[in-house]
């Protein structure tokens, strides 16, 4: 009985959240039932759709795993957007410089350059925090702004496709990158590419790093108590820099995967960060928190959140409802689900008390 | 960390699964049928049309101009708008093609890369892509682009006649794409007629406040005529209103933003080239051609605001500029 | 190319910087009060978008600036009450629920705009009032004392909030529950109510920031804030949870942005470097903090829900 009640609370929270969504859909003259169907089938309705959801989840897993590492060392990383862009720019620059490498060499090289790009942009706020007492929330938010402008500058300037200049259209995008650089599709007939398993492996790697290596032990020690860590001879400042650097490297990897796993296989900007990242730098935070800041739980959590995102796109198309309604509903779902924990513990206590009463 | 919110979410999603199963194993087709039945295209032709666009369909700018143009052709398309994320747009484009929509308009330059992947999978579907100056060699893709420098030049000619201080301010988002063509054309037109110009690119397509302050900076430095491009210009028009400074619009007719101070707008009439593409499609050509909107074919038009009085001389010089651009005697500098 | 260091340009730049700084200042002050009580609110940007839309809509329908401002405040209060319920009563994780509020505000304001307004239509802007006597001072008057009422309010709120946090009972309670809620509780301070009031104040300022933004511009557009609320949160760390510090940060950010725009208009900054120059406010904020940073730590109980 208690378990049943416990399990039903989040369901009820979700139900109420979707009731809000349904009212909003009704208010604009759409059928809420069809909306729900479109949402679910859009996310998980077919092999193709599941593949699309997995691809959407890929950067969330990576950013989420990175958030987890930073969090365990007691630092916050809101710089996912900038780190994704850094990784994408680095891997794009490398990809444009070679055109004859075999895929077996090319793909790892590009992913590695993405990792390095993200690591650098992640390590900067880490070092600033460790050695100059600059709060990392401030520096990561500011670095996001810097990286967007750097992306715009590079894509409309030095890295622009020469054809765009020639034709006078000046679209801020690079040349199409070599085919050998593309992430191979692993399930024929869908768009599922190597990026998803790489992300899953990276999340497992993050778990392994945190709990099975000396570095992970030091990071967690720093996160647990900097003073105790210092007393134990751990270089706290260096490890804070490492934590944000590693966190950023996972974002950078996500950026490289976004470029080389995309249909267009090139980087293009609409002038905003979200236009390239799809806000993965922020959504990854939500996914990590949903997953209880555990790298492994981040995987299914990202997959579900990715489903919410792909499903919403489908709902818009199927029902012809404006896209922002999906954003608003997502917000409500996040608030309600995250709020339901306390209600559950209250009810648990109530049930406990009642069963004691019944027994006596 | 004992109760992961995730477990709750898992339970929640599991219940979705049950719900979906309860709908009789129905998937995408059910849901999408519901949508497309209601929105059966009321087109002049029998072709079904869908539009995927990056900004809102009522943005008074890029996306709205396309919706208005289709409306002028009597076409009510299915619309997925606000898809500034390329991968989301790609999903929508592919989705429409899978549903069997005849003509999918990918109204965003940045969608080109995705289209190169999608179009070959649907050889019976016509994809219309813009703004772009090439079809990427795809047989079922039409491309279109506006020669925005042309209307920009004409606006610049009129602006040079309107300014009293001789100084004109231009605000833009990021120096790329259509914005460059319009701005360069405008500057060429204004400077060829004796005005001096200053251009500020703010670095953002969406920051309305920054665009407003950029316009204010021009006014602080003596500009008495302004123009600008991107959806963030609504802030700049507000500054023009506040300080009583003339404004020139582009993409859509922006007179409604200030009925007293908007002098003229370069308006995109996509319908001119869309109609040609639809005719070709009906005649069996699914794509492979590039169309330019320009002053000559009526795809670009200068729409004047009746509420702003212009002398006949000014109109005549604008007409002369239009004629000159069409016959090639004027170089718009793009 | 003309000179940046002329009196008229500097006056215009300072005035522009103050206008740009106002929404950051209002939102940042509100966030400071909330964080002082131990509650992080990442939803500021969403609250600002909601209040901006509803203030704008009120202007369209009723044409009253006072009513529009009150509606902006009202939206802040409503969102504050919701956020207080979620974080204090339900003890939800603060970072994540704030992002939920942000998403809701972003989506719902956009949706309402499309349903109720459609295309952007201009509304009357907040008028500027010269402060008697002060506005007549040459140059200084134009730069500092020729602004709208909400700008004056924002700057007037700095000493008021500083005093409130430092010297009033409520202010001391706020700091106590932000530093050590257990101790405060044992002294008979209601942690829940203190935090709830702090959140209400914070969100009211966020609502006011949204109203100030939209009424200064005289027009609304979806995603009007373009991330402004997140920068405001960052500035709280710049200002080290002190109202005067927040003001310095907001002014630094606004003045650098305004200087960049003026230099672009004067063609001192070439067009080809426009993106690089647009990084300046962000980079200079970080650099300034490197130079100034003292060892100020966050309220100890920030983001920690309290239960006995």
Interface membership of C279 toward A (CB under 8 Å): yes
Residue A263 has pLDDT above 90, yes or no: no
Residue B14 has pLDDT above 60, yes or no: no
State the average pLDDT over residues C111-132.
Answer: 89
Residue to mutate among A37, A92, A265, with most B CBs inside 10 A, is A37
- Predicted pLDDT at A17: 79
Superfamily covering domain B148-261+308-327 = Response regulator (3.40.50.2300)
| Cα–Cα distances in angstroms (integers) from residue B311 to residues B161, B263, B317, in the given order | 10, 12, 10
Please list the residue range(s) of chain B that carry CATH number 3.40.50.2300: 36-146+271-293, 148-261+308-327
User: Do the beta carbons of residue B240 and residue B261 sit within 8 Å?
Assistant: yes
**Nearest C-alpha in B relative to A160:** B176
Residue to mutate among A128, A277, A331, A344, with most C CBs inside 10 A, is A331
CB contact (8 A) between residue C257 and residue B213: yes
- Predicted pLDDT at C171: 96
What is the pLDDT confidence band of residue B178, given thresholds at 50, 70 and 90? confident
- Predicted pLDDT at A27: 85
User: Do the beta carbons of residue A142 and residue C280 sit within 8 Å?
Assistant: no
Cβ under 8 Å to A: C residues 102-121: 102-111, 114-115
A–C interface: beta-carbon pairs under 8 A:
145
- Predicted pLDDT at B23: 41
CB contact (8 A) between residue C290 and residue A328: no
CATH architecture of C7-117+147-292: Orthogonal Bundle (1.10)
Q: A1 vs C282, which has greater pLDDT?
A: C282
Tell me what the pLDDT averaged over chain B comes to.
85
Q: A246 vs C301, which has greater pLDDT?
A: A246
pLDDT digits (tens, 9 = 90+) for C178-207: 999 999 999 999 999 999 999 999 999 999
Handedness of CA A197, A199, A204, A208 (dihedral sign): positive
Residue B103 has pLDDT above 80, yes or no: yes
Residue B4 has pLDDT above 80, yes or no: no
What is the pLDDT confidence band of residue A351, given thresholds at 50, 70 and 90? low
Tell me what the pLDDT averaged over chain A comes to.
88
What is the pLDDT confidence band of residue B240, given thresholds at 50, 70 and 90? very high
User: Do the beta carbons of residue A306 and residue A54 sit within 8 Å?
Assistant: yes
pLDDT digits (tens, 9 = 90+) for A211-247: 999 999 999 999 999 999 999 999 999 999 999 999 9
Residue B280 has pLDDT above 60, yes or no: yes
Tokens of B199: 């251009």
CB contact (8 A) between residue A343 and residue C92: no
Residue A6 has pLDDT above 90, yes or no: no
- Predicted pLDDT at C3: 81
**Segment (H or E) for C130:** strand C128-130
pLDDT digits (tens, 9 = 90+) for C158-171: 999 999 999 999 99
Residue B2 has pLDDT above 80, yes or no: no
- Predicted pLDDT at A44: 92
CA of B233 to nearest chain C CA: how many angstroms apart?
A: 10
Tokens of B7: 């477990």
Ramachandran angles phi, psi of C284, nearest 5°: -65, -30
CB contact (8 A) between residue A275 and residue B86: yes
CATH code 3.40.50.2300 for B36-146+271-293: yes
The closest CB to that of B60, out of C120, C125, C271, belongs to C120
CB contact (8 A) between residue A262 and residue B112: no
Tell me what the pLDDT averaged over chain C comes to.
93
CB contact (8 A) between residue C107 and residue A146: no
CA of C268 to nearest chain B CA: how many angstroms apart?
A: 11
Residue to mutate among A264, A280, A326, with most B CBs inside 10 A, is A264
Residue A354 has pLDDT above 70, yes or no: no
Region at B293 (left for phi over 0; alpha for psi -120 to 50; beta for the rest) = beta
- Predicted pLDDT at B182: 95
- Predicted pLDDT at C169: 95
State the average pLDDT over residues A73-79.
Answer: 90
State the average pLDDT over residues C287-298.
Answer: 79
| Cα–Cα distances in angstroms (integers) from residue B113 to residues A57, A177, B102, in the given order | 21, 11, 21
- Predicted pLDDT at C132: 92
CB contact (8 A) between residue B20 and residue A171: no
State the average pLDDT over residues B9-18.
Answer: 45
Residue B20 has pLDDT above 50, yes or no: no
Percent of chain A exceeding pLDDT 70 equals: 91
- Predicted pLDDT at B19: 42
CA of B323 to nearest chain C CA: how many angstroms apart?
A: 31
Residue B120 has pLDDT above 60, yes or no: yes
Residue C284 has pLDDT above 90, yes or no: yes
pLDDT digits (tens, 9 = 90+) for C207-253: 999 999 999 999 998 889 988 999 999 999 999 999 999 999 999 99
Chain C residues whose CB is inside 8 A of the A128 CB are 286, 290
- Predicted pLDDT at A329: 83
pTM over 0.95: no
Cβ under 8 Å to B: A residues 283-302: 289-294, 297, 300-301
Q: C300 vs B32, which has greater pLDDT?
A: C300
pLDDT digits (tens, 9 = 90+) for B28-73: 333 333 333 333 344 445 789 999 998 888 777 788 889 989 999 9
Q: Spell out the SS3 assignment of chain B.
A: CCCCHHHHHHHHHHHHHHHHHHCCCCCHHHHHHHHHHHCCCCCCCCCCEEEECCCCCCCCCHHHHHHHHHHHCCCCCEEECCCCCHHHHHHHHHHHHHHCCCEEEEECHHHHHHHHHHHHHCCCCEEEEECCCCCCCCCCEEEEEECHHHHHHHHHHHHHHHCCCCEEEEEECCCCHHHHHHHHHHHHHHHHCCCEEEEEECCCCCCHHHHHHHHHHHHHCCCCEEEECCCCHHHHHHHHHHHCCEEEEEECCCHHHCCCCEEEEEEECCHHHHHHHHHHHHCCCCCCCEEEECCCCCCEEEEECCCCCCCHHHHHHHHHHHHHHHHCCCCCCC
User: Do the beta carbons of residue B10 and residue A304 sit within 8 Å?
Assistant: yes
pLDDT digits (tens, 9 = 90+) for C66-121: 999 999 999 999 999 999 999 999 888 887 789 899 999 999 999 999 888 888 88
Helix (H, G, I), strand (E, B) or coil at C234: helix
Chain C residues whose CB is inside 8 A of the A340 CB are 90
CB contact (8 A) between residue A37 and residue B31: yes
CA of B261 to nearest chain C CA: how many angstroms apart?
A: 13
What is the pLDDT confidence band of residue A293, given thresholds at 50, 70 and 90? confident
ipTM of the complex, rounded to two decimals: 0.92
Asked which of A2-6, A98-102, C234-238 is least confident by mean pLDDT, the reply is A2-6
State the average pLDDT over residues B198-212.
Answer: 93
- Predicted pLDDT at A11: 66
- Predicted pLDDT at A3: 56
What is the pLDDT confidence band of residue B17, given thresholds at 50, 70 and 90? very low
């Amino acid at each position: 009985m208690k378990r049943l009640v416990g399990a039903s609370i989040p369901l009820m929270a979700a139900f109420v959240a979707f009731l809000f969504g349904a009212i909003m859909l009704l208010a604009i003259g759409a059928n809420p039932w069809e909306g729900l169907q479109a949402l679910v089938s859009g996310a998980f309705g077919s092999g193709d759709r599941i593949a699309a959801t997995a691809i959407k989840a890929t950067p969330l897993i990576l950013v989420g795993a990175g958030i987890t590492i930073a969090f365990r060392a007691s630092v916050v990383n809101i710089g996912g957007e900038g780190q994704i862009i850094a990784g994408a720019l680095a891997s794009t620059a490398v990809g444009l410089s070679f055109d004859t490498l075999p895929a077996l060499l090319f793909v790892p090289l590009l992913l590695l350059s993405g990792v390095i790009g993200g690591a650098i942009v992640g390590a900067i706020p880490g070092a600033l925090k460790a050695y100059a007492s600059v709060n990392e929330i401030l520096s990561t938010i500011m670095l996001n702004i810097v990286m967007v402008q750097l992306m715009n500058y590079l894509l409309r300037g030095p890295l622009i496709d020469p054809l765009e200049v020639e034709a006078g259209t000046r679209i801020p995008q690079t040349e199409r990158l070599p085919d050998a650089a593309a992430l191979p599709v692993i399930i024929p007939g869908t768009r599922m590419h190597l990026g998803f398993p790489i992300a899953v492996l990276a999340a497992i790697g993050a778990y392994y790093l945190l709990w099975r290596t000396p570095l992970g032990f030091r990071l967690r020690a720093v996160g647990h108590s900097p003073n105790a860590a210092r007393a134990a001879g751990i270089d706290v400042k260096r490890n804070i820099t490492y934590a944000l650097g590693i966190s950023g490297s996972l974002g950078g990897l996500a950026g490289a995967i976004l470029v080389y796993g995309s249909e267009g296989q090139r980087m293009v900007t609409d002038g905003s960060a979200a236009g390239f990242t799809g806000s993965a730098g922020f959504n990854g935070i939500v996914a990590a928190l949903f997953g209880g800041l555990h790298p492994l739980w981040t995987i299914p959590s990202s997959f579900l959140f990715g489903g919410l995102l792909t499903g919403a796109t489908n709902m818009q198309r199927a029902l012809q409802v404006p896209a922002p309604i999906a954003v608003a509903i997502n917000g409500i779902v996040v608030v309600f689900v995250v709020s339901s924990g306390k209600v559950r513990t209250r009810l648990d206590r109530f049930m406990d008390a009642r069963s004691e009463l019944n027994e006596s | 960390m004992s109760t992961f919110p995730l477990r709750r979410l898992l339970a929640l999603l599991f219940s979705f699964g049950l719900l979906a199963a309860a709908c009789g194993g129905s998937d995408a087709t059910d849901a999408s049928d519901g949508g497309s039945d209601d929105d059966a295209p009321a087109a002049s032709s029998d072709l079904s049309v869908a539009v995927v666009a990056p900004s809102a369909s009522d943005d008074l700018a890029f996306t709205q101009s396309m919706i208005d143009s289709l409306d002028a052709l009597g076409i009510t398309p299915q619309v997925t708008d606000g898809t500034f994320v390329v991968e989301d747009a790609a999903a929508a484009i592919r989705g429409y093609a899978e549903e069997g929509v005849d003509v999918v308009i990918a109204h965003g330059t940045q969608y080109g890369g995705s289209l190169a992947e999608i179009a070959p999978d649907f050889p019976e579907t016509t994809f219309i892509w813009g703004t772009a100056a090439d079809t990427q060699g795809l047989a079922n893709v039409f491309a279109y682009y506006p020669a925005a420098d042309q209307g920009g030049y004409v606006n610049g000619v009129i602006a040079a006649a309107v300014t009293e201080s001789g100084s004109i301010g231009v605000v833009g988002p990021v120096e790329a794409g259509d914005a460059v063509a319009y701005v360069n054309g405008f500057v060429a037109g204004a400077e060829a007629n004796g005005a001096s110009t200053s251009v500020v690119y703010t670095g953002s397509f969406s920051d309305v406040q920054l665009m407003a302050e950029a316009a204010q900076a021009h006014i602080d430095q003596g500009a008495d005529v302004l123009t600008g491009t991107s959806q963030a210009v609504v802030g700049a028009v507000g500054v023009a209103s506040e300080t009583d400074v003339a404004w020139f619009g582009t993409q859509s007719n922006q007179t409604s933003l200030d009925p007293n101070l908007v002098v003229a707008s370069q308006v995109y009439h996509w319908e001119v080239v869309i109609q040609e593409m639809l005719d070709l499609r009906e005649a069996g050509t699914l794509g492979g051609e590039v169309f330019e909107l320009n002053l000559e074919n009526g795809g670009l038009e200068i729409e004047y605001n009746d509420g702003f009085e212009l002398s006949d001389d000014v109109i005549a010089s604008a007409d002369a500029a239009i004629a000159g651009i069409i016959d090639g005697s004027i170089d718009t500098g793009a | 190319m003309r000179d940046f260091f002329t009196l008229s340009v500097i006056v215009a730049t300072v005035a522009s910087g103050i206008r740009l700084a106002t929404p950051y200042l209002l939102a940042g002050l509100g966030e400071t009060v909330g964080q002082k009580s131990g509650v992080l609110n990442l939803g500021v940007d969403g609250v600002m978008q909601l209040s901006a839309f509803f203030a704008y809509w009120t202007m369209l329908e009723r044409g009253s600036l006072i009513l529009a401002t009150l509606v902006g405040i009202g939206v802040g209060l409503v969102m504050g009450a919701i956020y207080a319920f979620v974080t204090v009563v339900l003890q939800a994780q603060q970072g994540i629920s704030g992002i939920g509020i942000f998403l809701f505000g972003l989506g719902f304001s956009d949706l309402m705009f499309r349903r109720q307004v459609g295309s952007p239509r201009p509304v009357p802007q907040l008028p500027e009032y010269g402060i008697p006597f002060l506005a007549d001072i040459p140059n200084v008057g134009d730069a500092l004392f020729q602004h709208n009422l909400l700008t004056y309010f924002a700057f007037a709120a700095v000493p008021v909030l500083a005093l409130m946090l430092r010297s009033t009972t409520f202010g001391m309670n706020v700091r106590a529950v932000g530093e050590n809620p257990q101790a405060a509780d044992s002294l008979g301070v209601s942690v829940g109510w203190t935090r709830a009031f702090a959140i209400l104040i914070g969100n009211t300022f966020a609502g006011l920031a949204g109203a100030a933004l939209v009424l200064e511009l005289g027009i609304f557009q979806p995603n009007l804030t373009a991330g402004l609320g997140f920068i405001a949160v960052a500035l709280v760390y710049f200002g080290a949870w002190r109202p005067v510090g927040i003001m310095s940060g907001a002014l630094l950010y606004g003045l650098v942005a305004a200087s960049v725009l003026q230099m672009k208009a004067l063609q001192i900054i070439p067009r080809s470097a426009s993106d690089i120059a647009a990084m300046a406010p962000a980079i200079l904020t970080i650099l300034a903090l490197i130079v100034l940073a003292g060892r100020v730590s966050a309220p100890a109980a920030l983001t920690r829900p309290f239960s006995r």
